[in-house]
Chains A and B, each alone.
Chain A
């Protein structure tokens, strides 16, 4: 029997960010992306994987860093995740929301 992991089953904080990034699945990412009316292309997935790898390394992320990743530039990053690209892509990637110290 298969267990289908849905967004409902993974623990998130009140803003919808995954509590434990290791629980992330692609299926969950697709569900969250759909709440932003986003269909994930291969470019989206490349960005998401890069964000997850950097988060695992303990790197503090910024939009500028995504722009310097070699995967996309800042303008395209905005087109991929319109509105607030880093906070939206972080949510879909299952990593914490970008925040300041306070």
Chain B
């Protein structure tokens, strides 16, 4: 009996366990998933919790509900990965050997990387919405907040779901309008990049959204520290931006077990060096990496993990058959961008192609529109929660191609 061990039972780990179950013979292979948390969080829902659109109980379910067949599920922390000995140590002292390892340990916010972020104002006037606890705490704060200067700050550029901070700004605008206090709220978007939008076509088609919604953008601001006394963000080049309420997107890092095991990239952010096409570890041939845990130059998002899972399934089956890894991931990513008041935009892109306008998923018919703000996209986003729980995690086929398709996309834009 051989052992397939999957570290992390989030979106990527769950999909891989379920997909490989269909191909690995139960008499030959035993599959085990390890995760410290028994709950599976629908992370895209964290965006909606602060605004009362989703209730906290809408965004989590037991992980065990989504692991099919004979998959073993162990709730335990992972102490260390020892790839030379093909084994993993758990916090409880258990040692798990493996023949094939999939690292799907994800990414997490690391507010401790920025001096002052976890100071006296943390969870009083400084919040995150990338954790369940953070989004629930922010919901309570927003309910009683009567206005002032709301600052949304990205501490770093490599973050999970890079469009979520934009969506937060748009939804905050709509939320305060609905409450009738928009004129009492100043919304400022502080980013280390050159603007809220950075890709040419997206800037051309969506760039005015911030201005239209009265959101001020502060570009090229790379956060060094948070001054709790003066309630200011301070950049490395000495710029300052004050806030009454700060919604922070802290530096993102891979799981600490990656650091403890010496498996991370040399930049110290704990992401695992991974072949960007095959998803095999750069260091160990029987170790594969998927989702937010990789150092791939792709977005850290569930849709990316989904497309990767199809490629990785094929490559793992090739690896086990002693064949070359011929399935290549192209960096395909696809995501909705909520813009408030029941509308959304949609983007679809890969390593080489920027988001382009057009129709999705079918040319001409759509029904969703790429780089367009409309109601169909919003309904797509809301419907996606059902798709996520019932189709995506269980590894069912979705009507979206694994590698990005140019069908339906308009290369030349006239506006």
Contacts and interface: CB of A to CB of B under 8 A. Distances in A.
A101 B347 contact: yes
A102 B349 CA distance: 9
Secondary structure dominating the interface of B: loop
Given A60-B297, A68-B267, A68-B268, A101 B163 contact: yes
Contacts of A60: 158, 295, 297
A21 to B, nearest CB: 14
Interface string A25-50: 00000000000000000000000000
A78 B163 contact: no
B225 to A, nearest CB: 12
Nearest to A69: B267
Contacts of B163: 100-102
A88 to B, nearest CB: 10
Contacts of B162: 100-102
Interface residues of B, number: 35
A101 B162 CA distance: 7
B193 A99 contact: yes
Contact of B237 (A58, A64, A82): A82
A83 B220 contact: yes
Given A59-B297, A62-B156, A62-B158, A102 B267 contact: no
A75 interface: yes
Interface string B213-246: 0000000101010000000000011000000000
B366 to A, nearest CB: 20
B266 interface: yes
A70 to B, nearest CB: 9
Interface stretch (B77-85, B127-135, B195-203): B195-203
Given A60-B158, A65-B267, A82-B237, A102 B297 contact: no
A63 interface: yes
B236 A102 contact: no
A58 to B, nearest CB: 5
Contacts of B197: 100, 102
Contact of A102 (B224, B268, B337): B337
Given A60-B158, A84-B220, A102 B237 contact: no
B333 interface: yes
A84 B221 CA distance: 9
B206 interface: yes
B266 A68 contact: yes
Interface in B237-267: 237, 251, 266-267
Contacts of A59: 295, 297
Interface in B134-190: 156-158, 162-163, 166
A79 to B, nearest CB: 9
A56 to B, nearest CB: 12
A98 B198 CA distance: 8
B198 A100 contact: yes
Q: Which 4 A-B pairs have the closest CB atoms?
A: A99-B198, A60-B297, A65-B267, A102-B202
Given A74-B236, A101-B199, 17 more contacts: A58-B276, A59-B295, A63-B192, A64-B156, A64-B269, A65-B267, A68-B267, A68-B268, A74-B224, A75-B236, A97-B194, A98-B157, A99-B199, A100-B157, A101-B162, A101-B299, A102-B163
20 contacts: A14-B200, A58-B276, A62-B156, A63-B222, A64-B251, A68-B266, A69-B267, A78-B236, A78-B237, A83-B220, A84-B194, A87-B194, A97-B198, A99-B193, A101-B162, A101-B163, A101-B199, A101-B335, A102-B166, A102-B199
Interface of B: 156-158, 162-163, 166, 192-194, 197-200, 202, 206, 220, 222, 224, 236-237, 251, 266-269, 276, 295, 297, 299, 333, 335, 337, 347, 349, 355
